[in-house]
Chain A
Amino acid sequence: MTDIEMIVAYIRPDKLSAVKQGLSEAGAPSLTVSNVSGRGSQPTKTGQWRGEEYSVDLHQKVKLECVVADIPADDVVDAIADSAYTGEPGDGKVFVLPVESARQIRTGAEGIDAV
C-alpha cells in the first residue's frame, strides 16, 4: 500500500469555484471534475416542460477527485467542506479512499512521485 489517498467529493455546481480556491490554498491544486446527477438528503424539486410540472429527484452535482500523497487528506477534506458549505440539505459529501498504486503516464514515474 502506498501513502497515496484519493479524495472524492460531491458538491454543489455553484460551489466549484470556491472549492478550487480552497484546494489551491490547501496546497492541493490538482483535481478532476465531472458533471454528475445524484440523490441524497436534498428534497425532490420540480421541473417544468411547456408549463407542466414534473418531479426531479436526481440533482445536478459536481464530482471532484483529488489525489494527494505529501499533504494530509484531512486538510484537503477540510478545505473542500469549508468551501462547499451552505448549511442547506444538498451540500454534498466527501470521501477518502486509499490508492493502491500510481503512475504518471508521461514520465513513467511510480508511486508518490507520480502524484
Chain B
Amino acid sequence: MIDLTLQVEPGVIAEGVNLVWVFVATFLVFFMHAGFGMLESGQVRSKNVANQLTKNVLTWGIGVIAYFIVGAGVSVAIAALTSGSEISGVLAHLSAGSTGWASLLFGAAFSMVAASIVSGAVAERAQLGGYLVFTVFVGAVIYPVATGLTWGGGFLSQLGFADFAGGAIVHMVGGVCGLVAAAVIGPRVGRFDDDGSSNVIPGHSLPYAVLGTLILAFGWYGFNVGTAVSVFEVNEAGELALADYAYAGRVAINTALVMGAGSIGAALVGYIRQNKVDPLMTANGLLAGLVSVCSIAAVASWRGTLVVGFVAGVQVVLVFDLLERVGIDDVCAVFPVHGSAGLLSALAYPFVNTTSAFSITQLGIQVAGVVVLAVWAAGATLAIYSVLNALGWARVDREEELEGLDAAEHGIETYPEFGGSVIEDTDRRSSRPSGTPVADGSGESDDD
C-alpha cells in the first residue's frame, strides 16, 4: 500500500478526482434545464406549452454557444478592466484545452441557469425570436459582466463581495432580467382589469410544475455543492489533502435544510391567509429557499440557514403580491423566487457567516455588490427589450396571444385530442359484411 502511494503523483490524483467531481456537478446543473422546462410549462395554459418548452430548449441551444464564443471572453475582459489589470487572454478560452474546458463548461452551465430564469417571467406572450435575441445577450454579455465583476476577479471581488454559489450573481441577475423584461413587454391579455385589479390565470398542469421544482432541487445539489469545485489539493508537504471538500458537507446539509425552511415558510403564509396549503406556492417557496442559501451555503450554520430559508419562503408570497399591485405579470413568479430571494441571500451573508464576526463593512460591501449587479441587469435588459419592443419583436400580437403561441408560432397543438392526422383505413372498410348499407344512406330503413 505504501509502495503504491509512493509510485503515484499526488497532483495527478488531485486533478483526476477534481475533474470527475466538476463533471458530476456540471451534469447535475445541466439537468436543472429539465426542471425549468417542466416548472414553466406546468404554469402556462395548455395553448402555450410547446412554445414554453421550445424557449427552454433553445435557451441552452443558443445561449451556451453565445457564452462559449463570446461570453467567457467578456467575463475575462470585464474582470481585467474593473480591477485595473492588463486585458489579456480574452480569447484564451477558445483554445483552453481539455482541463480548461471542463471548468469552462461548469461556468457555462451556471450562465444558462441565469438565462433560463427569464423565459418564465415573459411566458405566454413573448415572441420566440425576440426572446432568443435576448438570450444571446444574456449568454454573451449580461451574465459574463456579472461574473467578470465578481468571480472573475473584477472590482466587486476585490472589494470583498461574497457570493459563494451565485445567489446574487446567477439568481438575482436572472430574476431582475425577467422582472424588467416582463415589465417592458406588459402583462398578458386579461391579467389585469382597467382598474388595476388582477385576475388569476391558472396554469395547465400542477404535476409538471411540482415535478420541475423537484428536478431543479435535485440539480441544485450540483449547483451548490459543486461550487466547492476542488476535492483534493496537494499541500506544501507534497501530500494529497482535502481542498474545498473540507466544507462540502456543510454546503450539502444547508442545501437540504433550506428546501424545508423555504417550503414551510410559503406554505404557512398560504395557510394563514386562506386556511389552505397551496401546492404551487409551497413549491415556489422550496425554490426560493434554495436560492436564498446560494450565497451563504459554505459559511452559514444550520440555524442561520433555516432562518434565511424561512424568510425566503415567506417573501415569495409577499413579493408576488407586490408585483401584482404594480401591474407586472411575472407568470412563473421568477422575481420572488430568484430575484428577491437571491438579494436576500447576498445580504444575509454577514449576518450568518460563522467564519467571521458580523461587520457593518461587509454588509456595506454586500449592499454595494447587489446594487451594482441589479442595476447592471436591469439597465441592460431595459435597453435590449426596449429595442426589441420598438422593432415589434418583443411580443406576439393580440390575436396570436389569444389563440395561443403553440398554434401561432409553431403550428402545434400540444394536446391534440381529436386532432390526429387523417389515416386512410381501406382494409377495414373492405371487410365490412356484404349487403350492409353503404355510406350514402341508400340502404337505411326508416321506421317512420
Contact = CB atoms under 8 A, between A and B. Distances in A.
A47 B276 CA distance: 11
A51 B202 contact: no
B200 A49 contact: yes
Interface string B437-448: 100000011111
Contacts of A51: 269-270, 273-274, 278, 280-281, 317, 320
A70 B273 CA distance: 57
A111 interface: yes
A1 B201 CA distance: 49
B148 to A, nearest CB: 36
A2 to B, nearest CB: 5
A108 B433 contact: yes
Contact of B437 (A48, A49, A52, A108): A108
Q: How large is the interface on A (under 10, 10 to 19, 20 to 34, 35 or more residues)?
A: 10 to 19
B95 to A, nearest CB: 48
A21 B198 CA distance: 46
A108 to B, nearest CB: 4
Interface of B (DSSP majority class): loop
Contacts of B276: 48
Interface string A38-55: 000000000111111110
A96 to B, nearest CB: 18
B334 interface: no
B436 A50 contact: no
A85 B377 CA distance: 60
B199 A49 contact: no
Contacts of A2: 447
Interface string A7-23: 00000000000000000
Interface string B387-428: 000000000000000000000000000000000000000000
A110 interface: yes
A101 B320 contact: no
Contacts of B198: 52
Interface in A90-115: 100-101, 103, 107-108, 110-111
Contacts of A107: 433
Contacts of A108: 432-433, 435-437
Interface size range of chain B in the complex: 20 to 34
Contacts of A47: 200, 202
Nearest to B209: A50
Given A2-B447, A101-B444, A108-B437, A50 B274 contact: no
Nearest to B281: A51
A100 B280 CA distance: 50
A50 B333 contact: yes
A54 B270 contact: no
Given A2-B447, A48-B278, A108-B433, A54 B273 contact: no
B186 interface: no
Interface string B184-208: 0000000000000011111100000
B445 A110 contact: yes
A107 B284 CA distance: 57
Nearest to A111: B447
Contacts of A1: 447-448
Nearest to A49: B202
Of A48, A54, A101, most buried by chain B (CB within 10 Å of CB) is A48
Contacts of A110: 445
A108 B435 CA distance: 9
A109 B438 CA distance: 14
A52 B200 contact: yes
Given A54-B199, A54-B202, A49 B433 contact: no
B445 A50 contact: no
A53 B275 CA distance: 12
Interface string B330-360: 0001000000000000000000000000000
Contact of A49 (B280, B432, B435): B280
Given A48-B274, A48-B278, A54 B446 contact: no
A31 B349 CA distance: 65
A52 to B, nearest CB: 5
B281 A101 contact: no
Nearest to A55: B200
B274 A53 contact: yes
Interface string A53-65: 1100000000000
A101 B447 contact: yes
A110 B446 CA distance: 10
7 contacts: A49-B201, A49-B203, A51-B280, A53-B274, A54-B199, A101-B447, A108-B435
5 nearest CB pairs, A to B: A108-B436, A49-B202, A54-B200, A51-B281, A51-B278
Given A51-B281, A108-B433, 14 more contacts: A1-B447, A47-B200, A48-B276, A49-B203, A50-B278, A51-B269, A51-B270, A51-B274, A51-B280, A53-B200, A54-B199, A100-B447, A100-B448, A111-B447
